[in-house]
């Protein structure tokens, strides 16, 4: 039974990924405003109903890759030793995340640039970031239970972490060449760490 469930989940994830990639391809070719759900479904070789089973709209499909990356980052954070101070755990989880990614996917870089130009995507990404901030804050607080500055400390730390990630990634995307994305993010996190030392 478990093997069947695993196979089913793999097929579902493959369909989600295919829809995400089709949406990204079409958005880069035509511009997001010109992309329809029907066009995405056709591009991925599925029905519109199948699209609707996986995503609420084209923006949701486009941001699927971000959700996958965030989930993996959270998994890595939760796997860090509980004895690590919160900022160190965030930094090490991020370093492991970038090491696992390796070379940056050009589609992801194109998506970052697309997000920077499209207000509807930015709004949806901001909502997702707010939810992630709460999850990160809960992980931070769990690593240092009873800290006298809670819940302020964990919320501020989570917010600073996310802003640092976004800023470092944005600067790296605007200035291609030189350091890797992982190195750029690590430099940003090290700079931000000065306030949490």
pTM for the full predicted model: 0.79
pLDDT, mean of residues 54-75: 90
Query: What value, to the nearest 5°, has the Cα angle with vertex 176 and ends 178 and 73?
Result: 90
Classify residue 63 by its DSSP letter: T
- Given a cut of 60, whether residue 35 has pLDDT beyond it is yes
pLDDT, mean of residues 37-45: 95
pLDDT in tens, 119-176: 878 888 888 888 899 999 999 999 888 888 888 999 999 999 999 998 998 888 877 6
Non-local (6+) Cβ contacts of 72 within 8 A are: 97, 100
pLDDT in tens, 78-87: 999 998 999 9
Place of tokens 């492991």: 96
- Given a cut of 70, whether residue 193 has pLDDT beyond it is yes
Of the listed ranges 28-37, 74-83, 124-133, 182-191, the one predicted with least confidence: 124-133
The pLDDT assigned to 1 comes to 43
The whole-angstrom separation of Cα 160 and Cα 175 is 22
Q: Note whether 35 and 79 are within 8 A (CB).
A: no
pLDDT confidence bin for 2, thresholds 50/70/90 = very low
Question: Which one has a higher pLDDT value, 40 or 5?
Answer: 40
List the one residue out of 62, 173, 196, 39 whose CA is nearest residue 123: 62
């Amino acid at each position: 039974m478990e093997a069947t469930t695993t196979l089913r989940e793999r097929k579902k994830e493959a369909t989600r990924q295919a829809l995400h990639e089709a949406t990204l391809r079409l958005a880069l070719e035509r511009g997001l405003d010109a992309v329809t759900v029907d066009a995405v479904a056709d591009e991925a070789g599925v029905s519109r109903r199948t699209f609707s089973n996986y995503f609420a709209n084209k923006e949701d499909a486009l941001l699927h890759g971000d959700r996958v990356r965030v989930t993996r980052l959270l998994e890595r954070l939760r796997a860090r030793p509980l004895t690590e101070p919160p900022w160190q755990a965030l930094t090490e989880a991020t370093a492991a995340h970038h090491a696992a990614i390796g070379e940056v996917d050009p589609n992801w870089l194109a998506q970052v640039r697309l997000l920077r130009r499209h207000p509807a995507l930015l709004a949806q990404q901001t909502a997702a970031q707010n939810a992630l901030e709460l999850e990160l804050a809960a992980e931070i607080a769990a690593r240092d239970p009873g800290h006298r500055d809670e819940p302020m400390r964990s919320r501020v730390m989570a917010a600073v972490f996310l802003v640092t990630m976004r800023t470092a990634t944005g600067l790296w995307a605007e200035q291609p060449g030189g350091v890797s994305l992982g190195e750029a993010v690590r430099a940003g996190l090290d700079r931000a760490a000065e306030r949490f030392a």
